[in-house]
Amino acid sequence: MTTAASLLVVVRHGLAVAPDDRRLPGPDVSLRPEGRRQIAALAERLTALRPGGVWVSDARRARESGAIIAARCGVDLHVRPALRELDFGHWGGRTYAEVVAADPAAAAFFLDPTVHVPPEGESGRDAARRVLDALARLAALPARPSVVVGHAGSLRLALALGLGLPLAAYWRLQLECGGMSRLRWVDGALTIEALNDTAHLEQEGWTEGERRGERRRS
């Protein structure tokens, strides 16, 4: 008999930096006005799912995103530090070019996050396991769907690990700002029902470039 855990709706926080900002995550920044509009559009869509609660990382951009969703859906907001972005340590707030200029060996991390660790930071494998474990625990909650707000890097690492992909392939799992994915654990295995659903943003006229909010690696 096949058994499935409760639905998780996993969200990347709204836009918090300019789309052409190339710095690695570090400073604890707030949502930009565009990011608030992205999340407001998502929150309106999520009301139909009648979620049981919203769980967020403790970063400001995730907490602000979650608060918008929780208020619109009339549910409680819960902070889970385990959902944080990958800790880039001394590299946080610097660009890829700056990091590699100071330490050429660091380029290996951006090709495969399991072979190098940012100074005073976190390995890609540790971040993947941390977030995947947090998602699995939330999926085990009974009944109504749970909304989870996290970060592109650590969420993609977690999904790659859960799917049995090489962690070096995590860049291939696109997660746009304000986009949502639907996850379940079926017989203990991660199943992705939808990845990076941005229909609510497309209806509001957001272009792909405006949605992506990617930090480029060079």
Residue 216 has pLDDT above 70, yes or no: no
* Residue 158: count of CB within 10 angstroms of its CB: 28
**pTM, whole model, 2 decimals?**
0.91
- H or E element, residue 182: strand 180-186
What type of residue sits at position 195? L
Domain ranges across the chain: 8-212
The encoded tokens of residue 89 equal 């340590």
The 10s digit of each residue's pLDDT in 73-127 is 999 999 999 999 999 999 999 999 999 999 998 999 989 998 889 999 999 999 9
Q: What is the DSSP string of 86-155?
A: P--GGGTTSBHHHHHHH-GGGHHHHH-TTS---TTS--HHHHHHHHHHHHHHHHTS-SS-EEEEE-HHHH
Q: Encode pLDDT of 39-66 as tens digits.
A: 999 999 999 999 999 999 999 999 999 9
Furthest-apart CA atoms within the chain: distance in Å: 55
Identify which of 140, 34, 128 has the alpha carbon closest to the alpha carbon of residue 84: 128
Domain 8-212: which CATH number of 3.10.129.10, 3.30.70.100, 3.40.50.1240, 3.40.50.720 = 3.40.50.1240
Residue range 140-151: mean pLDDT, rounded: 90
